[in-house]
Amino acid sequence: MKRPSRVAIVGRPNVGKSTLFNRITRQRRALVHPMPGVTRDVQRIETEWAGVAFDLIDTGGLFSGIDDELIQEVEQRAWKEALGADVMIFVTDAEAGVTGTDIDVANRLRQVDGAVFLAVNKSEKGQHAEAEFFELGFERIYAVSALHGQGIGDLLDDVVAQLPQREPSAAEEHLKLALVGRPNVGKSSLANAMIGEDTTIVDSRPGTTRDSIDITMQWHGRAVTLVDTAGLRKKSKSRDGLTSLTAIKSIDAISRADVVVMVLDAPREMANQDVKVASYAHKAGKGLMFCVNKWDLIEDKDNTTVSQFEKRIRGAFRFAPYAPVLFTSALSGQRVSRILEMAWRIKESREVRVSTSDANRFIEGVLAKNPPPSHGGGNGKIYYITQVSVSPPTFACFVNKRAYFDRSYLRFLNNRLRDRYAFEGTVIRIKLSEKERKGAR
Ligand code: GDP
Ligand code: GDP
């Protein structure tokens, strides 16, 4: 399975990037942006031309020229997205002619590796403005009208001819999973059960897992790497800190993983070290899930046993109420297959990109129903929210005053975002920025 190539649409605001994006992807409705021309999220849709599939990216509000930290963060992300593209369509405006910002954009585009196609949009009047645009220094110039669908076919013919055939990229089709937990909880046994053949060493004595090894396997056509750990050995003198070599290795595994599986031993008490390691994964913004292993050893289970365990876990790992819990037995194989299913779900939900217009509509509704309680004589207002990054999902939130938003209200917002966009097994970060803005609601 080949991953589609990427085509990014770049250009200053108002030249018609969204219109072109909609035209190519055949979306009828124009995308609605709450603050047009200020900052917009990146749109990406898989589409095709002449039988060649590619991801089309509208880089949104790049080159707005607005001097604002958060807007620049959004722009930087958009720029990064553009840099990942195989081909760029640089859109300009025939009616406006070459502007200073166009020259800035051109200078930046000259530094990228991919091919650049210069589209002179709004050319439906046949004004032949494209001659003027040669000064920007690109060979491939196309007079188009996104609004009227003129010249788009010629442009796309040449764009797709330029697209490389690529293998799936490592990052998207590849799950990196770290099984962490104390020695003897069953990490190696679980790994073996997942792999379905004996490739790691299992022993009943602590610490027999060799120095960290990574096992890569195919799972329903996708790659999974088990970033192995040697287990967390509690050194007598380490005062519960993460000072032992094995603990450091487990930290190393966490930092290399997308999703961390905290393995607990059902019959044994949870340990402080478990909490520290899980909290490290949480702070690092990794996907997190719990696996209560050796479930076969728990006798006389009744319909409250699961909830009792869950309650204990929630109590010990208060910082991660979002992490799902599985009850497994590496010995019998019970629910072992669910570990990878769950881990993929977590990874995918962490990669979700929420459209800015949808997020704003949603938050508006939430605020209308449940406004922040009055604080210090004022009422909290949210002007604008936008997702600035993924893995973990991170939102920038422009508010009138930070102090009007207390922790419990932020937790409430967090939960609402989680429900709405089905973020699972991952922390959601909300960054508040205090700003009055023009045109804000
Ligand atoms: P973006 O900010 O670059 O994404 O620009 P938009 O797609 O939002 O378009 C900005 C304005 O230009 C809108 O009013 C569009 O209707 C208009 N527009 C886009 N393409 C064309 C075109 O081919 N011809 C004309 N005349 N107007 C266009
Ligand atoms: P690790 O140190 O965390 O990698 O743990 P191992 O996978 O080496 O397992 C330690 C011991 O627990 C071994 O004797 C395993 O056979 C046993 N074990 C692992 N998983 C289970 C399980 O689900 N049920 C039972 N009863 N024993 C298990």
Please name the residue ranges forming H helices in 122-207.
Answer: 130-133, 152-162, 187-195
Q: Which ligand is nearest to the CA of 14?
A: 1
Position 47 scores a pLDDT of: 83
pLDDT at site 40: 63
Specify whether the CB–CB gap between 323 and 281 falls below 8 A: no
pLDDT for residue 165: 61
Give, as one character, the DSSP assignment of residue 232.
-
Q: What is the pLDDT of residue 297?
A: 96
What pTM was computed for the model?
A: 0.59
pLDDT of residue 68: 77
Can you read off the two tokens belonging to residue 250? 């487990």
Separation CA 17–CA 92 (nearest Å): 9
Atom of ligand 1 nearest to the CA of 33: 8
Q: Which residues neighbour 352 within 8 Å (Cβ) at sequence distance 6 or greater? A: 390, 393, 421, 422, 423
Among the atoms of ligand 2, which is closest to the Cα of residue 297? 26
Q: Per-residue DSSP letters for 195-227? A: HTS--S---SSTT-S-S--EEEEEETTEEEEEE
Q: Among 184, 200, 215, 228, name the best residue to mutate to test ligand 2's pocket (greatest count of ligand atoms within 8 A of Cβ).
A: 184
Helix (H) or strand (E) holding 408: helix 407-421
* pLDDT tens track, the chain, 441 positions: 345 688 999 999 889 998 999 889 876 444 444 444 444 667 788 888 877 788 898 887 677 777 777 777 778 877 888 888 889 999 999 999 999 999 999 999 988 878 999 999 999 998 888 889 999 989 889 999 999 989 998 899 889 888 876 544 555 678 899 999 888 899 888 988 887 643 333 332 332 334 556 777 777 767 788 886 443 333 334 444 444 555 666 777 888 899 999 999 999 999 898 999 999 999 999 999 999 999 999 999 898 999 999 999 999 999 999 999 999 999 999 999 899 999 999 999 998 888 888 899 999 999 999 988 887 677 888 988 988 888 999 998 989 888 889 889 999 999 999 999 989 999 999 999 887 544 444
* Ligand with smallest separation from the Cα of 31: 1
268 Cβ closer than 6 Å to some ligand 2 atom: no
Given this model, what pLDDT does residue 280 score? 92
